[in-house]
Structure 1
Amino acid sequence: MTDPVKRLDSTLSQLTKDEDKISTLLSFLKSKDDRGTIDLNSSGKSSNPVFETKKSMQVSKVMGLVQKHGLNEKFKSALLSQTDMPKPRATSPVDHLECGNWNVNAGRRCTKVASKVCSGCRLVGYCSQSCQNEHWSAHKRDCKHTLKSKDWRPRWVLERRSPDFIVKNNSGNKGMVFGMGRSLWGNMPALDILNLKDNEGISQAANQDFSLAFVAFGDLRNIIRTVNELPENYRGSLNLIINDNDPMVVCRNLLILTILGSIPDVDDAIEHALHVWYSVFLPDTWIPKILPVLHRLDLLQPDPEKRPRTLSFGPHSKLNISVSPDTHEVLTTTAASGSFVGGLTPAVANNALFSVMMAPERVDYRERYYCGLEGSHRVAFQEWRQFGIVNPFGGFNAHLNKPNSWLFGPDHKLYLNDSASPFQGWDMNAVFEAGKAHGTTREDIFGCLYFYLKSQLRTFVNRLRSFNMTISLSDKDAVDLASLIRNDEIAGVPSSITFDRIEVSNIVDVEYVGLEKVLEAWGPMLKDKQENKHAVLVGLFMNWPLSWDKADSMKATLESLGKAGNGEVMETFQSMYPDLVPKPGDFDFMSPNSASMMKMMSNLELCHENSKAFYTYLKDKGADEAEKKAGVRMRKVNQVVAPRIGSTVGSPLNVLPQKLTGEEKYITMALQGFTFQERYVEWERA
């Protein structure tokens, strides 16, 4: 069969008018989803990888034909007209919560500041009693939602059966995921990897140059937190290396950085970047706002050597781009998927979201998480699962109606697992404070997150456009990247560079790169003690007990302790958190499947002191020899990040976290879903 793209090229060559060529191109692209309907199977996995690859290659080849036939500018204009978009306008609320009284069908929207809150659920704010009364018919379903009730119980409790996550774990299906498994959001709170107050000192660092490497950065949260914690009067030079070998991760972060650095109106830049990052739907101004951004990236340029290698963000900052043709093709194809009529439609996006986040067969997994949440937080989280938008609960959202192709695969399936949560990557204490400062309540948890992200992105974008900052983005294998830098093969990065901080995330886990290879590649690239005595490499071990054949014999997990060991941990937990121990009066408290029992069991590991097993694990994985080869040593006391969840910087490595209380207790033990086996380790030059 003749290649359809070659036939298209031949047809274009026979046409004389550019308008006819543009029409032919658009018709071709609209017809390329050959299957017609989207098949979302129960697992959310891709059912036809051959189709995905073929489609991706065809879109990329069509971009080459646009360039070949000299149609760049006219093609962009045609895309704008095809989207049926309104002219660019101001988007959603930025600085303060708006009144929740709006109804698109009735043509009603009150834009006054919300000064009152619904006393029933505290999820929605209003400017007046009259607006609240007018909106009640729409709001009462959420206000009186069964998930908000104090008497709510998981279905497995009401039906008096064992929950699926117990049954399936007992049948050997441990670690099962639901969704496509792409890690596009962080699942540990953002780190400031400089932590100047405990290291170089805030005032001393104001004029100091720093080189920082984020070797497997996943998303931008650690970069943003680190830059935002620099002193406001920082006048040094900041050199950031950010790398990941997942093309979609790199494309998403390249796009977000370019949006933040390129869209002139800061509010528009923040709004669009936030939703690209976290929402399934983007503002209806997406196409006209993003085309100039994509133009800077020159997506229609088929020759990799002619694509931009450096973008400037203001007079002092720049972004160096060192990515493969494959990553550039993902960028081009995903941009096309979100732009062309016949691509990812709102109905398809909704279907894909629902099939993962609200799958009936996963109800027990969702409700296990809901067990620990306050009622209004359950309602808010259920709303997010259904609609996929990070926005105030009662906030105007009709403008968020364009599917976010940067969260979907080429076959229009959602990349995320059903366990993905926007909360896991942030300090929720700070999130709640931001919500309060912008007029919403802690019950409106997504509203709090929305305003927190706005404030973090605002600080970052201002610094991106004013600080002396060089960001070098790449898509290399983590170990190869170190060699490529030393061989002067990464654009904008000198081969002689050494780093003040190196953050490697959890690629030290054996499932990824492993401890030995990471230390041998990156340890020698730390600055020595004479250059900076605070220079450190930070690694995260998330899966160590699950992938270690000696885990049981070394009592690395709670279930391996035996009856006596479990009794000791239970006794410690009961003395610290008596309110979480099931007691007479709790519904079905004697059942091992009761909701109160599940809340306790999910947090018991917090009181398990497993440091001896962890250090044996490190030794077993060759840490001693790798440290010698790399010329580094493990710190006995962490100075950048706390060694365990719930502990603090400077805590001994073999001491249990102190008793959690108040908001910190709720956030750590209910909201963020930790295993409490996570361990941060820091290495410095020997």
Structure 2
Amino acid sequence: MDVAIGHCWRCENAITREVNCRQCGVAKYCSDTCCRRDQYRHQPECEEWRPKRCSNPTCTSDSRQALKECTSCNEASYCGKVCQKAQWKDHKHKCRERAHEIRTKGAALQSYFQQQCFPGLVPYYFGNALAIDMLNLHANECKMKPKPENRDPLKSNFAILSAGCGNLRNWAHTVASLPAEFSGKLHTVLNDFDPFVQARNVLQLYMMVIYQDEANIATSITNIWYSLKISEKDYNLVVACLTTLQDLTSSNLREVTGGVIQLTEADMAPMREVWQSWLNLECRKGHPNYIDLQEQRRDVFRNSPNAAEGIDVYKKELPGDFVPSYNDYLATGNFQPFGSKRVDLQYDNPTLTGYMFPYDRYDAIEAMKILASPKKVTFVYCIGVDLTPFGSWDYLKVKKNHYHRSMIVMFHGYITDQIQQVMRCLKAGHLTVSFIVWNCLELSARLDQESCKCDRIFTSNIADYSGTQPLLKVMKPFLNHENKSSTIVTQYWNWYLLFPCAKIEGPVSVRASRTKILAECSIAAIKDTCIDIVGEAPFNNPLFMSLEMMKTAGHGPYFWQEYFNYTKYFVSYLRAEFMAFNQSLGGVSDDVWHTVHMQRLFEFSGLKDAEAEMPTVTSGGEAATAKPPPFQKVRQREGLEMRDFRRGEPNKVVPFRYRRNVRRVNLFRGMERMLEWYIPESLDN
């Protein structure tokens, strides 16, 4: 759950008198009112967590504790062999169908992972997922029972490895979330294969270190991070920093930042090419060779399929007060605090430029050449249409601390505050950061496994492209075995493209059978999002419900997704993915591979995902008879164990999933999942 421990799952206030869900006992509330109001949102997860009944309808046993799950489909449970045998005639078709689906999708994934090479369509200067606290001390080390051998976590040193780190938002939010009493040191390894992203990260951190005593520096850094147009003062700051950085060696950089920024000359070389290219851009309107990022940005929007449709759906979901400020940002790309005058924003922001592949002409080989030598590319505006400042930071946290009717003012204030807190930690000497430009799956060539031991390892959604098992195998040696709270986090954004039935609307072939489910989820969505505002009485008014149904019809299917229990499909994906690495499966045709690959491209670029159902994979050899692994086996890999989301076991570092409809300002589907892997005491070696 995405609510802090000890807080209500509905209103998020601290719990003084705990009320548990009467069915599952997992969900926790501060009152009966919150428990009742959360019933519509909580229903799908409650279905998974509450005690199950025997799947044999003729069973007379009341026992719910000794049930055993069908290991083939994970969708039926029995109290014994007698009931399983009695129900087999009715169950076998569905069971075999699920097992066949897992086998065939496992074969598709096997081929996909073997051929995958995907360095990206654009540099991710803006995040495409919510900033998270990668350490979360209060829910981990600070929760451990005091022992003589345990050091005070608030006085201890910690290390984090962030593979595929993207921009600085996760690191900044982690640092800003450190307890005020923290007096230890935090070392973070930020790894990404993209030197454009890393060059921007180093530039921003350099600004925080060198100019931390200057007035309004945090505001300037926020402007430079997200705004298309910047003032002369902010532009001169960028130029001054770039001019210095391009002439520094890696050892000089470490020295001038007091050891905060650490990297090798090999990592710095491609970044230097990026810095020099930014310096060479003409950013003042009216000058020869002016880059005109406003016009470049318009071209990106014009040439992006489904951009207009996506923007329209997003605006329909926004609270009405936010629409004017979003329209302003949409029209200009400017992200400036309240009171800024556009006449003062005379310069285009050079750090919003880099490489950008047209969605229909992506070339992985060409992308690798660009990443190896950035200076060879023509620098252009490179922010995807789906990437905004409003999709990078948790709206619930932003609203709680900096609410304003203007989205720009609200988010700008929150991000600026995060940067100010980071600079306070820098000034206190708590932070050091290593930057590595390298493929995360080959980190053993860059990091010493004996000396680099991390308390948290965050892997973004690299598992979407590498698979979970290779990723865990690479990362486990860097995990700190001495810390019982050490965790590896794997993230999954694209999994449902292989299991399209996980979408509430689903492929065309299943929509007719889901008419009732669609209606139920739509009604649940309306009740869940309205009940805190209007109470329960209007729900009995047909006119009210009809008007709300019409109002939400344009929100898109992801508005209803939260109320559809599709856990079984995610479980099937994890089982299929496990098979792709642990069992011999038949190959797939080029047509099937192309479909999978194109669907991944659509998802990665933020475009509307492909609607067609995955083609059937015909496999030979062992694939036709290979038995899908039970979920329990999938949970234990490489000497690590996954927290069991099916049993209501909560993640301790990051949420397993986010509630979507309380975050409609954030641009995400609600299909994203995060798994946590730890070393259980029974397996610790």
| Paired amino acid for 1:428 | Y
- Residue matched to 1:57: none
Q: 3-state SS of the aligned residue for 1:240?
A: strand
Match of 2:134 in 1: 193
Q: Say whether 1:672 aligns with 2:674.
A: no
The match for 1:413 is: 380
Aligned-pair RMSD on alpha carbons? 3.5
The CA deviation string for residues 179-200 of structure 1, in whole angstroms up to 9 with x for no partner, is 9644321122211111112111
- SS of residue matched to 1:266: coil
Deviation at 1:338, TM superposition (A): 5.3
Distance 2:547 2:285 in 1: 55
Whether the 8 Å contact between 1:250 and 1:475 is mirrored in structure 2 is yes
- Contact (CA 8 Å) 1:235, 1:467: kept in 2 or not? no
Instruction: Say if 2:633 is the partner of 1:633.
Output: no
Code of the aligned partner of 1:607:
Y
Name which of structure 1's ranges 614-623 and 578-587 shifts more when overlaid on structure 2. Answer: 578-587
The one of 514, 519, 536 aligned to 1:570: 519
Cα distance in 1 between the residues matched to 2:269 and 2:286? 26
2:658 alignment partner, one of 626, 645, 662: 645
- Show CA shifts across 1:634-654 (max 9, x none): 1122111111121xxxxxxxx
* Structure 1 position 230 matched with structure 2 position 184: no
Quick one: structure 1 residues 183 and 295, their matched pair in 2 at CA, closer, same or farther if it must change by over 3 Å? closer
CA contact (8 A) 2:141 2:485 kept: yes
Question: Aligned pair in 2 of structure 1 residues 402, 327: CA closer, same or farther (>3 Å)?
Answer: same
Q: 1:376 maps to which residue?
A: 321
2:563 partner letter: C
1:504 to 459, 463, 466: 459
- Aligned residue number for residue 410 of structure 2: 448
Quote how far apart the aligned CAs of 1:383 are: 0.6
Size of the alignment, in residue pairs? Answer: 462
Equivalent residues in 2 for 1:264-413, closer than 5 Å: 265-297=213-245, 299-300=246-247, 306-308=249-251, 310-312=253-255, 317-321=260-264, 323=267, 325-337=269-281, 348-357=292-301, 362-392=307-337, 394-409=339-354, 411=378, 413=380
What is the rounded CA distance, in whole Å, between the counterparts of 1:399 and 1:308 in structure 2? Answer: 38
Q: Distance in 2 between the 1:326 and 1:429 partners?
A: 37
Distance change (3 Å), C-alpha of 1:576 and 1:375: closer
Amino acid at match of 1:319: Q
Separation in 2, partners of 1:232, 1:631: 35
Residue 115 of structure 2: aligned partner? none
CA distance in 1, matches of 2:652, 2:133: 11
Distance 2:639 2:434 in 1: 26
Task: Tell me if 1:607 matches 2:563.
Answer: yes
Query: Using the alignment, how far apart are the partners of 1:292 and 1:395 within structure 2?
Result: 22
Contact persistence 1:508–1:518 (CA under 8 A):
yes
Correspondences of 1:408-557 after superposition (within 5 Å):
408-409=353-354, 411=378, 413-436=380-403, 442-486=404-448, 495-510=450-465, 513-528=466-481, 531-546=482-497, 548=498, 551-552=499-500, 555=502
Q: Partners of 1:482 and 1:338 in 2: how far apart?
A: 41
Counterpart residue type for residue 275 of structure 2: L
C-alpha distance after superposition, 1:239-282 (max 9, x if no partner) = 11001111211111111011111125433432332122111122
Say which structure, 1 or 2, has more relative contact order (CA 8 Å, 6+ apart): 2
Map 1:159-198; keep pairs closer than 5 Å.
Answer: 181-198=122-139
Structure 2: distance between partners of 1:428 and 1:555: 26
1:106-125 matched pairs, under 5 angstroms: none
Runs of 5+ unmatched residues, structure 1: 1-178, 437-441, 488-494, 647-659
**2-side partners of 1:199 and 1:180: how far apart?**
36
Question: Do the aligned partners of residues 588 and 383 (structure 1) sit closer, same or farther apart at CA in structure 2, a change above 3 Å counting?
Answer: farther
Q: Do 1:539 and 1:681's aligned partners in 2 also have CA atoms closer than 8 Å?
A: yes
Residues of 1 paired with 2:196 and 2:411: CA distance? 24
Q: In 2 relative to 1, CA 370–467 (structure 1 residues): closer, same or farther, beyond 3 Å?
A: same
Q: Structure 1 length normalisation: TM-score?
A: 0.61
SS at match of 1:603: helix
Contact 2:502 2:569 in 1 (8 A): yes
The letter of the residue matching 1:454 is: T
Aligned partner of 1:430: which letter? K
Q: Kindly state the Cα deviation for residue 681 of structure 1 after the two structures are TM-superposed.
A: 0.4
Change (3 A) 1:387 1:345: farther
Question: Helix, strand or coil for the counterpart of 2:445?
Answer: helix
Q: 1:248 aligns with which of 190, 196, 217?
A: 196
Inter-partner Cα distance in structure 1 for 2:564 and 2:514: 9
Q: Could you list the per-position Cα deviations for residues 561-583 of structure 1 after superposition, in whole angstroms to 9, with x for gaps in the alignment?
A: 54444523531441352487999
Q: What is the SS of the residue equivalent to 2:317?
A: coil
Query: Which SS does the other structure have where 1:417 is aligned?
Result: coil
Give the SS at the match of 1:251.
Answer: helix
CA contact (8 A) 2:285 2:347 kept: no
User: Does the CA-based 8 Å contact 1:337-1:344 persist in structure 2?
Assistant: no
Q: CA deviation at 1:371?
A: 1.2
CA contact (8 A) 1:215 1:478 kept: yes
Q: Provide the rounded CA distance (Å) in 1 between the counterparts of 2:121 and 2:654.
A: 31
The 5 Å alignment of 1:205-216 reads 205-216=153-164
- Distance in 1 of aligned mates of 2:504 and 2:520: 16
Give the secondary structure class of the aligned counterpart of 2:432.
strand
Mapped to 2, the partners of 1:295 and 1:408 lie a distance apart of 17
> Does structure 1 retain, via aligned residues, the 8 Å contact 2:160–2:189?
yes
Question: Structure 2: where are the runs of 5+ without partners?
Answer: 1-119, 144-150, 355-376, 531-538, 583-633
For the 8 Å contact 1:586–1:596, the answer to whether it is kept is: no
8 A Cα contact 1:356 1:418, kept in partner: yes
**CA 1:378 to 1:209, structure 2 compared with 1: closer, same or farther past 3 Å?**
same
With over 3 angstroms needed to count, the CA separation of the structure-2 counterparts of 1:424 and 1:290, relative to structure 1, is closer
Given the superposition, is the C-alpha separation of residues 614 and 470 from structure 1 closer, same or farther in structure 2, using an over 3 Å criterion? Answer: same
Contact 1:357 1:418 in 2 (8 A): yes
Q: Deviations over 1:151-209 (max 9, x none)?
A: xxxxxxxxxxxxxxxxxxxxxxxxxxxx9644321122211111112111189421111
Q: Percent of counterpart pairs with the same letter?
A: 22
Q: Offset at 1:335? A: 2.7
The 1:292–1:359 alpha-carbon spacing in structure 2 relative to 1, beyond 3 Å, is: closer
Deviation, 1:295, is: 4.5
The answer to whether the 8 A contact 1:193-1:503 is kept is yes
Q: State the match for 1:654 in structure 2.
A: none
Kindly indicate whether the alpha-carbon contact (under 8 Å) linking 2:524 and 2:563 is maintained by their aligned counterparts in 1. no
Q: Contact 1:182–1:415 (CA<8 Å) still a contact in 2?
A: yes
* Range moving further from structure 2, 623-632 or 535-544: 623-632
SS state at 2:677 partner: strand
Change (3 A) 1:533 1:269: same
Cα distance in 2 between the residues matched to 1:574 and 1:344: 58
Which SS does the other structure have where 2:464 is aligned? coil
**Residues 391 and 667, structure 2, Cα contact 8 Å, conserved in 1:** yes
Distance (whole Å) between structure 1 residues aligned to residue 206 and residue 132 of structure 2: 22
TM-score by length of 2: 0.61
Contact 1:259 / 1:272 at 8 angstroms: preserved in 2? no
Cα distance, 1:600–1:245 mapped onto 2, change above 3 Å: closer
